[in-house]
Amino acid sequence: GQNIDQPTEMTATEGAIVQINCTYQTSGFNGLFWYQQHAGEAPTFLSYNVLDGLEEKGRFSSFLSRSKGYSYLLLKELQMKDSASYLCAVMDSNYQLIWGAGTKLIIKP
């Protein structure tokens, strides 16, 4: 079966750095997405990785290792507004998104 694993909840301090991990087992791979979702709102796109390595976009970076079936989202200089759920999703061989359950990130002052 297809499976995406990520921690249920993480807590970090404002101004700090946090890394959210995601491991996956899917039938085929056409890229991995990270989305941010605030409570009661739809997901918003953060990043896309299809090749191994690190993609940096401002305070957010995303890393992929296809051989390990592993990705992480790195958030730097955390702000209170970063409190949200972070969803990892993998596009399988049918170009369908397989979603993780999401990681709820709590930022404390």
Residue that is written with structure tokens 């296809």 in the block: 66
Q: Is 42 in the site for another protein (CB under 8 A)?
A: yes
69: closest CA among 9, 20, 29, 10?
A: 29
Q: Is 60 in the site for another protein (CB under 8 A)?
A: no
Strand pairing report for 103-108 and 9-13 = parallel
Q: What share of the chain is helix, strand, coil (3-state, %, to 5)?
A: 5, 55, 40
| Structural contact between residues 41 and 84, judged by C-beta atoms closer than 8 angstroms | no
Among 5, 10, 31, 60, binds another protein (CB under 8 A): 31
How many residues at the interface with another protein, by CB under 8 A?
20
Among 45, 51, 53, 57, binds another protein (CB under 8 A): 45
Among 24, 26, 78, 102, binds another protein (CB under 8 A): 102
Give the interface with another protein as residue ranges (CB under 8 A).
30-31, 33, 40-45, 48, 50, 87, 91, 95-97, 99-102
